[in-house]
């Protein structure tokens, strides 16, 4: 098995953007190993890590503000290709003698990019491309030796270059930049001369190697099993490394989807036997959540109760040293528990920032460097069943984050029943596997309906169906009207207490996938 330290790689310097990790992930998707490193990494370390090229990420600061993060000046003399993205462009301009200032016309959203198609970054692209912009500052003048290689209506310097130092004001890493992957591919293969060195087998090898290194030969591990693909893949990897020393604990917190507990028993009991432990803790979870409206508080409560439940199980089993979780890269980024102090928090995922300070276990998270689609590839290669691989992600705090406001029995029931209808109808229309997540949420707003001759006030079910590849960005799915009509009609007819059905049509960003 390989050690990633010896691999040639792209280093992504992290200036604090939410999307810094996504750049890394995109490069790895191209088959080249990439790592996220602090923005002030030294030249010595850059060479020790075998960098073939550097990417400067975006970031929330202004380069001209006091204390803003800037790379070490020596980095520019390393002779390595550099690609600056958004703040990364501004850092390059600022440090090499150009001028950056607050833009008079800020750009957010899609923009039309006119580009010089003979620039190596744009090889094989047309002269007009769609790009995603999100910036308040902009370059006003360029450093000596730089030229503009692309512009938009508002940005004369949408992309600039000087030899192998290249920078773009837009975000090639988000899918809204339609040919962003092609640009990254041009940078990685044509400009940095990287060779492919990163595959699913490598990811499995690295994850198993880490488990072997971490877990002692007699240590026992409990794995938090949710029935989703992340924890199932975690359990599978662990079972291969430690066999019967693995115990999987499934906690029914009363916030599950319809039929979920039964599905878990059916899928995992034959494989795990008595090493599958199912705990019904729904009464305690629902009691602790009573009257809590704040989503962050809900997540923390769920995180804490999960740990308390695992602690109970571990006391019963005795001598459990490790808690394994199916935490992904995205959970860590969104909880802003990553390495940069410049990142800002989106949501405290229950399994990351929701964990209590004194845990009582040591944590093992073999998937923490992977994105969901990478986990799907790993799960397939490990031979996990197709239905499990294709199951939509389900948040750990479950319906607590799909019930907006306080969690009540009535709202939970609506959420559960309406979501089951959404999923059933998608399956029937053959669209289930093509979308990322599909469910119904419910809040406290009420709307009037008519039942027979009677007016009736009831809840509004919010149907959300999104497409995504890694949950960092997402778009609402343009499913056929006939399907929406069927979903709406079934929910209002079959789910007591619902009078209206709406369809959520905001993308991520600016919204998130879950309503809370």
Residue in the structure block whose two tokens are 């343009």: 478
Q: Is 338 in the site for ligand XMP (CB under 6 A)?
A: no
Residues forming a β-bridge with 147: 161
Q: Is 53 in the site for ligand XMP (CB under 6 A)?
A: no
CA distance linking residue 283 with residue 446, whole number of Å: 27
Question: The tokens of 282 are what?
Answer: 């729904």
Question: The tokens of 443 are what?
Answer: 């809040």
Full 3-state SS string of 117-171: CCCHHHCCCCCEEEEEEEEEEEEEECCCCCEEEEECCCCCCCEEEECCEEEECCC
Is 58 or 509 the residue whose CB approaches ligand XMP more closely?
509
Which residue of 334, 369, 374, 423 would you call a contact of ligand XMP, by CB under 6 A?
334
Is 137 or 423 the residue whose CB approaches ligand XMP more closely?
423
Peptide bond into 431 cis (omega under 30): no
Q: Is 512 in the site for ligand XMP (CB under 6 A)?
A: yes
**Segment near ligand XMP (CB under 6 A), from 212-220, 337-345, 347-355, 414-422?**
347-355
Structural element, H or E, at residue 69 = none
Beta carbon of residue 250, minimum distance to ligand XMP (angstroms, whole number): 14
Which 3 state secondary structure label does DSSP give 85?
strand
Report 379-408 residues binding ligand XMP (CB under 6 A): 393, 395-397, 401
**Segment near ligand XMP (CB under 6 A), from 195-203, 383-391, 418-426, 507-515?**
507-515
Beta carbon of residue 106, minimum distance to ligand XMP (angstroms, whole number): 24
Is 158 or 401 the residue whose CB approaches ligand XMP more closely?
401
Is 241 or 367 the residue whose CB approaches ligand XMP more closely?
367
CA distance linking residue 491 with residue 498, whole number of Å: 7
Q: Which of 86, 131, 223, 248 is catalytic?
A: 86
Question: The tokens of 164 are what?
Answer: 């192998």
Beta carbon of residue 330, minimum distance to ligand XMP (angstroms, whole number): 6
Q: Is 139 in the site for ligand XMP (CB under 6 A)?
A: no
Residue in the structure block whose two tokens are 């910036």: 135
Phi then psi for 347, rounded to 5 degrees?
Answer: -145, 145
Alpha carbon distances (Å) from 383 to 16, 77, 199, 391: 37, 47, 16, 15
Which residue of 28, 350, 376, 416 would you call a contact of ligand XMP, by CB under 6 A?
350
Is 338 or 395 the residue whose CB approaches ligand XMP more closely?
395
* Closest CA relative to residue 90, chosen from 122, 115, 56, 120: 56
Beta carbon of residue 436, minimum distance to ligand XMP (angstroms, whole number): 7
Site string for ligand XMP, 61-90 (x = CB under 6 A): ------------------------------
CB-based contacts of 78: which residues, under 8 Å, 6+ apart? 43, 46, 47, 51, 54
SS3 content of the chain, % helix, strand, coil (to 5): 35, 25, 40
Q: Is 471 in the site for ligand XMP (CB under 6 A)?
A: yes
Is 172 or 295 the residue whose CB approaches ligand XMP more closely?
295
Beta carbon of residue 226, minimum distance to ligand XMP (angstroms, whole number): 8
Which residue of 57, 175, 234, 351 would you call a contact of ligand XMP, by CB under 6 A?
351
* Closest CA relative to residue 300, chosen from 360, 256, 353, 359: 353
Beta carbon of residue 205, minimum distance to ligand XMP (angstroms, whole number): 26
Is 54 or 463 the residue whose CB approaches ligand XMP more closely?
463
Beta carbon of residue 221, minimum distance to ligand XMP (angstroms, whole number): 19
Report 252-311 residues binding ligand XMP (CB under 6 A): 299
Beta carbon of residue 207, minimum distance to ligand XMP (angstroms, whole number): 19
Residue in the structure block whose two tokens are 């370059």: 139
Q: Is 231 in the site for ligand XMP (CB under 6 A)?
A: no
User: Which segments within 203-259 are labelled E, that is strand?
Assistant: 221-224, 246-252
Beta carbon of residue 72, minimum distance to ligand XMP (angstroms, whole number): 33
Radius of gyration of the chain from its Cα atoms, rounded to whole angstroms:
25
Q: Is 459 in the site for ligand XMP (CB under 6 A)?
A: no
Annotation marks residue 86 as catalytic: yes
Is 331 or 369 the residue whose CB approaches ligand XMP more closely?
331
DSSP string, 410-443: HHHHHHHHHHHHHHHHHHHTT-GGGSSEEEEEEE
Q: Is 347 in the site for ligand XMP (CB under 6 A)?
A: yes
Residue count at the site for ligand XMP (CB under 6 A)? Answer: 19
Question: The tokens of 206 are what?
Answer: 């690295």
8 Å CB contact between 495 and 461: yes
Beta carbon of residue 248, minimum distance to ligand XMP (angstroms, whole number): 17
CA distance linking residue 329 with residue 246, whole number of Å: 23
Q: Which of 94, 171, 176, 350 is catalytic?
A: 171
Is 39 or 439 the residue whose CB approaches ligand XMP more closely?
439
8 Å CB contact between 359 and 404: no
Q: Is 437 in the site for ligand XMP (CB under 6 A)?
A: yes
Residue 279 CB: number of other CB atoms within 10 A?
14
CA distance linking residue 277 with residue 296, whole number of Å: 28
Is 186 or 516 the residue whose CB approaches ligand XMP more closely?
516
Residues lying near ligand XMP in the complex (CB under 6 A) are found at 299, 331, 334, 346-347, 349-351, 393, 395-397, 401, 437, 471, 508, 512-514
List, by residue number, the catalytic residues: 86, 171, 173
């Amino acid at each position: 098995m390989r050690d990633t330290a010896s691999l040639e790689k792209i280093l992504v310097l992290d200036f604090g953007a939410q999307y810094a990790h996504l750049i890394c992930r995109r490069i790895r998707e191209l088959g080249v190993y990439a790592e996220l490193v602090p923005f002030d990494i030294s030249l010595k370390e850059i060479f020790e890590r075998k960098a073939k090229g550097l990417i400067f990420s975006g970031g929330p600061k202004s380069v001209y503000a006091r204390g803003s993060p800037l790379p070490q000046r020596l980095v520019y003399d390393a002779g390595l290709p550099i690609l600056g993205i958004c703040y990364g462009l501004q850092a390059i301009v600022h440090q090499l003698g150009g001028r950056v200032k607050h833009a008079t016309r800020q750009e957010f959203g899609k923009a039309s990019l006119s580009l010089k198609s003979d620039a190596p970054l744009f090889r094989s692209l047309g002269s007009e491309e769609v790009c995603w912009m999100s910036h308040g500052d902009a370059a006003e003048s360029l450093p000596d030796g730089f030229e503009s290689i692309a512009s938009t209506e508002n940005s004369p310097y949408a992309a600039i270059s000087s030899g192998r130092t290249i920078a773009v004001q837009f975000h090639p890493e988000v899918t809204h930049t339609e040919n962003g992957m092609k640009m990254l591919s041009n940078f990685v293969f044509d400009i940095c001369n990287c060779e492919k060195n990163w595959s699913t087998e490598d990811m499995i090898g690295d994850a198993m190697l880490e488990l072997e290194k971490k877990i002692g030969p007699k240590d026992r591990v409990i794995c938090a099993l949710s029935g989703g693909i992340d924890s199932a893949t975690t359990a599978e990897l662990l079972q291969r490394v430690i066999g019967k020393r693995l115990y999987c604990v499934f906690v029914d917190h009363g916030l599950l989807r319809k039929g979920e507990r039964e599905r878990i028993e059916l899928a995992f009991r034959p494989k795990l036997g008595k090493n599958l432990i199912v705990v019904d803790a729904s009464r305690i979870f629902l009691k602790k959540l009573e009257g809590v409206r704040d989503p962050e508080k809900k997540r923390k409560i769920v995180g804490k109760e999960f740990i308390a439940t695992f602690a109970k199980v571990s006391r019963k089993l005795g001598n459990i040293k490790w808690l394994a979780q199916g935490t992904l890269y995205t959970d860590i980024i969104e909880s802003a528990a990553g390495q940069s102090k410049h990142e800002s928090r989106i949501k405290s995922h229950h399994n990351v920032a929701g964990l209590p300070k004194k845990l009582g276990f040591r944590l093992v998270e073999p998937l923490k460097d992977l994105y969901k689609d990478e986990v799907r590839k790993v799960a397939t290669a490990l031979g996990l069943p197709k239905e499990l691989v294709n199951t939509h992600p389900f948040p750990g705090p479950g319906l607590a984050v799909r019930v907006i406001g306080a969690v009540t029995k009535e709202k939970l029931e609506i959420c559960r029943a309406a979501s089951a209808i959404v999923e059933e109808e998608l399956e029937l229309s053959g669209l289930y596997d093509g979308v990322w997540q599909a469910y119904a949420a419910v809040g406290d707003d009420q709307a009037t309906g008519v039942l027979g001759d009677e007016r009736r006030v009831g809840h509004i079910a919010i149907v959300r169906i999104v497409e995504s590849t890694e949950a960092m960005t997402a778009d609402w799915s343009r499913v056929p009207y006939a399907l929406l009509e069927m979903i709406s009609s079934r929910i209002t007819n079959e789910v007591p207490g619902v009078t209206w059905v709406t369809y959520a049509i905001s993308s991520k960003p600016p919204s998130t996938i879950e309503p809370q």
